[in-house]
Amino acid sequence: MHQQIRRTAGILYVVTALVSGYWASYLIGRASIGGPWSWWYVTTLGASVLLLVGGVHIVLPQVRRGWLVAIAAGISLLPWNLGAWHREGVTFAVVVALGSWAGLALASAWRRPSVVAFIASVVLAAWWTPASVHNVGTYFSPKPPSFDPMQLVWILVPSVLVITSLITAATSSRSPVAVG
């Protein structure tokens, strides 16, 4: 039973990472709202990759740390146009790989595999919560830019996933288990 709950939490982390990573990549590509010059979008992309690594680590605990760090570095290179942003893309991949390695080392040392997901979820919540509150306030303002209910869903889905991941990681990181 406990193993099934842990796997479900890992799947939640992976889904959250994919959704928030998609949005971070999308926002990085939009030069009109900050583009690649905004540190928050790059930080949320890195946290999304870290959350993905944490989710894979929980769902597939037999995968070695070295492979997870290599996956983090490889995925980190995907959203970058390496022809134009070579130095920045490689630097980002190295930083995310080092962050993944450090998070996995902490998880192993503390025997709590959800530490990686907790760290990533805190960073993601720091961005998504205020952004979603602002966007919901704009949506319900006297003159909203759009009355489309699906737009409200797209605003709330990442925040709900991130907050759920944060709560799940916080509660599940209290129970020690064997970590590889």
Q: What is the pLDDT along the chain (180 residues), one digit of tens a residue?
A: 478 888 899 999 999 999 999 888 887 776 655 555 567 888 999 999 999 999 999 999 899 999 999 999 999 888 776 566 677 788 889 999 999 999 999 988 988 888 999 999 999 999 888 888 887 888 888 887 776 777 778 778 888 899 999 898 888 766 555 444
Residue 114 lies in a domain: yes
- Domain span at residue 145? 2-172
The answer to whether residue 177 is domain-embedded is no
Tally of domains within the chain: 1
Position 180 in a domain: no
> Are 113 and 61 a contacting pair, CB within 8 Å?
yes
Residue 40 lies in a domain: yes
pTM assigned to the model: 0.85
- 133 in any annotated domain: yes
C-alpha 26/C-alpha 29 separation (Å) is: 5
| 70-164-119-169 Cα dihedral, nearest 10 degrees | -90
Which 8-state DSSP code applies to residue 64?
Answer: -
Please report whether residue 179 resides in a domain. Answer: no
Q: Is residue 8 part of a domain?
A: yes
> Does 94 fall in a domain?
yes
